[in-house]
A and B are shown apart, each in its own frame.
Chain A
């Protein structure tokens, strides 16, 4: 883990430096023009966010049933990063929506689900911060329920109404657009992994420090 960090950092930085050039070189989309280019950062940030949500949910379940504190630290670190990427998605989405739909926000399946998952995980962070002793378990419960909730919100909001471009646009991208798109997705995933490693290191050191204090007493 530690050895891989340096090279990964350089690779991710290089990829983020190249990304704007690749995006600029990609052709304009026929109807949306320049605004469509937001998509190269908007969709990857949701990819990273949902990776974070599932990592958090799965590690929370491991923590709950095995009681390993290390799994709890992964879940906590991952939830924090998921919220950050979610905020990125929530900021870039309305910028596009304003141009495409003429309004900043639409009560659509994807948007409702994204906002709710973001809220659930902000709730998770609030519990971890202000829940007092025992908040690890509480948080684990929230994360598992939050993860299980994703499909329900999606289905119910989808029946309710939808205007967001269907997710099926991703596999049917033209090769000239798919190249930069998947490049950006990998850059975001690497960034996610890097941030998780950093955040986890901090949590581990905090836990080690607590253990040392306990020993001292």
Chain B
């Protein structure tokens, strides 16, 4: 029952997105322009500053993610479908999980583009030296970021100042994800990839995911009740 509803919400969001591709295209474009802006800051006399590719990757994910989060719920609000969704005789937490899965999927697609782009533009081919560890970092980091982001974006739908409030609240709370993601990725970027360090950061991200997904599931229902 729970999984069915979550998957139905996900299917609905994917179907809308496949048709319009609005959020996907805008997010991807925004992520790429983020990377370009950073290139001016972190490339000095033709050389990339050490560790910069890891930072650029995660900041681009966080910025693009914020944009996408705002848009997904804006669509619900615009179509006045959020109330209908919440009125459905279904556990609210399942709706949250459906939305969260959609968000994770979107961000993973964006990362599929971002990682090769950064590897190419910043000479960071070492990103692919340990593909499994990198995938682990990206997946756990994305889940953590999206878990907090989806909840906050949902809460903010009714707020007049949602556009400003989402980044204000989201960035301080997701800082552990950024620290772990950036440090883990730059451990992989070293001349000899530091596997134990990357694994340790993945473990920290898994803990973060477990705690924050649980908290979000637990608080989504009372937070979304008017």
Contact = CB atoms under 8 A, between A and B. Distances in A.
Contacts of A142: 152, 169, 173
A55 B175 CA distance: 23
Interface string A117-150: 0011001001100111111011011101110110
Contacts, number: 88
Nearest to B182: A160
B15 interface: no
A141 B155 contact: yes
Interface residues of B, number: 31
A182 interface: no
Interface stretch (B57-65, B67-75, B158-166): B158-166
Contacts of A155: 176, 204
A157 B161 contact: no
A141 B148 CA distance: 10
Given A126-B168, A137-B155, A156-B204, A131 B219 contact: no
Judged by DSSP, the binding face of B is: helix
B223 interface: yes
A187 interface: no
Interface residues of A, number: 32
B180 interface: yes
A119 B168 CA distance: 9
B173 A134 contact: no
A138 B155 CA distance: 6
A145 B168 CA distance: 14
Judged by DSSP, the binding face of A is: helix
Interface of A: 64-65, 112, 116, 119-120, 123, 126-127, 130-135, 137-138, 140-142, 144-146, 148-149, 152-153, 155-157, 159-160
A141 B172 contact: no
Contacts of B212: 145, 148
B183 to A, nearest CB: 6
A66 B161 CA distance: 26
A140 to B, nearest CB: 8
Contacts of A159: 183, 200, 204
Given A146-B173, A148-B215, 19 more contacts: A64-B223, A119-B172, A127-B169, A130-B165, A131-B160, A132-B161, A133-B158, A135-B159, A138-B155, A138-B165, A141-B152, A141-B219, A144-B219, A149-B175, A152-B204, A153-B175, A156-B176, A157-B179, A160-B183
